[in-house]
Amino acid sequence: MAPSRLKAHQPFILMALRSGAKTQQGLRRQYERLLHYMGLPVSFAGEDRGWRFHRELDENLDALVKKGFITREGDSFSLTAEGQELAESAYQRARASEDPSFTSAHSPAVASRLSVISYGLLALLKMAAGFTFRSAALVADGLDSLIDVLSASIVLLGVRFGKELMSAAFVVAVMGLIAYLIVYEGVARLMSPVAVATPPAAFVAVIVAGGISYVLSLYQRIVGKRGGSLTLMSQSVDGRNHVFQSGAVLVGLFFARYGIPAVDAVVSIIIGVLILRSAVELAIELSRVARASDVGVQSGEGEYERGFDRHRWNFFKTWTLLTIKEVSSRRDLILRYDQTFTPDDLPFATHRSPAAGFEYRRNVDGILEELFEEGLITSVGSGLYLTDSGKASLDASLRRRRLGFFF
């Protein structure tokens, strides 16, 4: 059937009916889900929303019925055999027409690979500049970036070979060792000051590294928020921290330029202490997970299906906590879900969503109830808010995911 026979929103109506019969209200809701995914916060309130789709819906439905593409039974509309063929053709054209470069750039998988590569290059830049200009703070910042690369690679290998907890423990040990070396060197420099070279190239290197970290953080946040990637969202927070660390390194270089190298040593010690704190917190979490895993095996609850279901449930618990930082009602949570996780029946060739097979709308009340019981959220009227425990739990979860730990 020639595409020219379809006008205005008629192709979308046919594609919306591919998943089954719908009423006019169902078609409106499907259109609004498309707008949500495109970033338009359309409200469900009211019947006449002023959109052309709504104003011309009756006219388009009548035209499709007359052309024999859909049939009407009471208030519901469904595809005919001819309409089904045309709807499938329109859907495939819509998927094929999406810009592949745009899709790739906004894919969490692509963004994750770019992040690892960027962290590797940043680590090399910072450490090379740090050793060249004898800046302990810059070397420490570079080692912090190197930890991100090593952890992602080592944990990935651990997952592939079924040794996730062992690989996570190794990364924690590496973090502790690196933190010790950084603090030791910083203290040694406080006791026996080392002159720090401060040519313009040193400042340029730090500014460039900070700028790249800032751009990378923005990119990770945009893609992570759009694709629902908790790992990217956590990495965006870490990228922002690297920007602050670059600022601190600049302060150290500034004082070193005027004959006070001790500030550079102090900055390196602070970075080392922050890494050590993260290592201790992850070690505590790792111990807790190891104990929980032993209990799960002993009680017969270590089956793959149950573990996967619980992993998905915990993913959306963390995602819900993260979203409550920006929205404050159950309705807004569901609206954000529609904006973030692309339904399979929308005519877009997007990456596979972590929501595939998980019915958030049906489970949202159970998730919220569990968060209430754990004391992670509270309510004031119809508004939902994070408690101090909720903020701490969210920070811990994002910290684990930043380093590739998914337990």
**Domain spanning 3-97: which CATH class is it, in words?**
mainly alpha
Q: Which residue has the higher pLDDT, 56 or 253?
A: 253
Q: Pick from 282, 326, 275: which is nearest to 142 by CA?
A: 275
* Mean pLDDT calculated for residue range 18-39: 76
- Report the distance separating Cα 338 and Cα 348, nearest Å: 14
pLDDT > 70 in the chain, percent: 74
What contacts 85, CB < 8 A, 6 or more positions away?
Answer: 1
Q: How many CB atoms within 10 Å of residue 257? A: 15
Question: Using 50, 70 and 90 to split pLDDT, how confident is the model at 279?
Answer: confident
Question: Using 50, 70 and 90 to split pLDDT, how confident is the model at 245?
Answer: very high
Q: Which residue has the higher pLDDT, 48 or 212?
A: 212
* pLDDT for position 250: 95
Q: In the structure encoding, which two tokens stand for residue 398, read together?
A: 């994002």
- Report the distance separating Cα 368 and Cα 378, nearest Å: 10
Q: How does pLDDT run across 139-182, given as a tens digit for each residue?
A: 999 999 998 888 767 765 655 555 666 777 888 888 999 999 99
Query: Which of these ranges, 44-48, 278-282, 320-324, has the smallest mean pLDDT?
Result: 44-48
Matching fold, domains 3-97 and 104-292? no
Question: Using 50, 70 and 90 to split pLDDT, how confident is the model at 301?
Answer: very low
* pLDDT for position 2: 46
Looking at residue 320, its amino acid is: T
**Domain spanning 104-292: which CATH class is it, in words?**
mainly alpha
* pLDDT for position 259: 92
* Mean pLDDT calculated for residue range 41-62: 67
* pLDDT for position 45: 47
Q: How does pLDDT run across 316-346, given as a tens digit for each residue?
A: 888 899 899 888 888 888 888 877 776 555 6
Most confident range, picked from 79-93, 224-238, 368-382:
368-382
* Mean pLDDT calculated for residue range 123-146: 93
* Mean pLDDT calculated for residue range 354-380: 85
Assign 385 to helix, strand or coil.
Answer: strand
Most confident range, picked from 52-66, 293-307, 355-369:
52-66
Q: How many CB atoms within 10 Å of residue 160? A: 10
Angle, helices 200-227/230-257, rounded to nearest 10 degrees: 170
Displacement of CA 115 from its chain's centroid (Å): 12
Instruction: Please provide residue 72's backbone torsions phi and psi, each rounded to the nearest 5 degrees.
Output: -120, 130
* Mean pLDDT calculated for residue range 305-315: 63
pLDDT of residue 39 exceeding 60: no
Query: How high is the mean pLDDT of the chain?
Result: 79
Q: How does pLDDT run across 83-113, given as a tens digit for each residue?
A: 898 888 887 777 666 555 555 555 666 677 7
* pLDDT for position 305: 40
Most confident range, picked from 37-46, 151-160, 295-304, 372-381:
372-381
What is the model's pTM? 0.64
Q: How far is the CA of 213 from the CAs of 115, 145, 386, in angstroms? A: 10, 10, 28
* Mean pLDDT calculated for residue range 215-240: 78
Instruction: Please provide residue 73's backbone torsions phi and psi, each rounded to the nearest 5 degrees.
Output: -130, 105
Question: Using 50, 70 and 90 to split pLDDT, how confident is the model at 374?
Answer: very high
Angle, helices 304-324/330-340, rounded to nearest 10 degrees: 110
* pLDDT for position 260: 95
Looking at residue 235, its amino acid is: Q
pLDDT of residue 38 exceeding 60: no
Q: Pick from 334, 312, 340: which is nearest to 384 by CA?
A: 334
Q: Pick from 86, 85, 201, 191: which is nearest to 138 by CA?
A: 201
- Three-state secondary structure of 67-112: CCCEEEECCEEEECHHHHHHHHHHHHHHHHHCCHHHHHHCCHHHHH
* pLDDT for position 307: 45
CATH fold for the domain made of 304-402: Arc Repressor Mutant, subunit A (1.10.10)
pLDDT of residue 20 exceeding 50: yes
Q: Pick from 243, 257, 228, 258: which is nearest to 322 by CA?
A: 228
Domain ranges of the chain: 3-97, 104-292, 304-402
